[in-house]
Chains A and B, each alone.
Chain A
Amino acid sequence: DGGITQSPKYLFRKEGQNVTLSCEQNLNHDAMYWYRQDPGQGLRLIYYSQIVNDFQKGDIAEGYSVSREKKESFPLTVTSAQKNPTAFYLCATSASTDTQYFGPGTRLTVL
């Protein structure tokens, strides 16, 4: 079954804790992206990676970190430095064409 999986679907975090969101793909796509979605603000790019072992900051990278050790995986860590982490997080991938394909998302709530 091909596609993009994100886990968990819902995640709760206490203030001051780091959490890691998983994104895995079996589409053999080179590029992967992390977006944050807040109500009324559309999608904002956090980090993206064009190739294994390389990644770049997006528009709102502060308080987040990523790694790209394998082509299939692009985990996002939300650190305690992120002051307002409650949001819906979306992972996407793309091949050499323009189209981005999205996972089902993870909803993070800070308690």
Chain B
Amino acid sequence: GDSVTQMEGPVTLSEEAFLTINCTYTATGYPSLFWYVQYPGEGLQLLLKATKADDKGSNKGFEATYRKETTSFHLEKGSVQVSDSAVYFCALRRESAAGNNRKLIWGLGTSLAVNP
């Protein structure tokens, strides 16, 4: 079945370091891919998404490129800040999903802590 695998955390970085959080997926066809972020004690917020191969999603300095050949959607940021400390979730939605297939398939989340 479809699945999403994220790198295990926690990830701990110093401020201004480069961030990569790996996400790979298993799915048939061309699913839509998402990154969500969850700040402590809050709900999830959409960070970025990509709906077709080679698309790059970007927001708030974060980027992720939809790589069909490696079935990956790695999250990157060139210079992290303390305020980026959060849990990051990768998710997919099946291609041409409708009805009962509209639900998202979630990774387990990767915790990021950025130290000043």
- Give me the interface of A with B, judged by CB distance under 8 Å: 4, 6, 31, 33, 40-43, 45, 48, 50, 56, 58, 90, 92, 94, 98-105
Given A98-B51, A99-B49, A105–B104 Cβ distance below 8 Å?
no
Given A40-B108, A98-B51, A90–B100 Cβ distance below 8 Å?
no
Q: Mark out the residues of chain B between 22 and 67 whose CB falls within 8 Å of any chain A CB in the assembled complex.
A: 32, 34, 36, 41-46, 49, 51
Instruction: Tell me whether B34 and A99 are in contact (CB under 8 A).
Output: yes
Among B42, B45, B93, the residue within 8 A (CB) of A98 is: B93
Given A98-B49, A98-B93, A99-B34, A42–B109 Cβ distance below 8 Å?
yes
Given A42-B89, A42-B108, A104–B42 Cβ distance below 8 Å?
yes
Measured CA separation A42–B42 after assembly (Å):
14
Chain B residues, Cβ within 8 Å of A100: 46, 104
Chain A residues, Cβ within 8 Å of B99: 50
Residue B106 CB within 8 A of the other chain: yes
- Nearest-neighbour CB distance to chain A for B3, whole angstroms, equals 12
Measured CA separation A31–B99 after assembly (Å):
10
Given A90-B44, A102-B43, A42–B106 Cβ distance below 8 Å?
yes
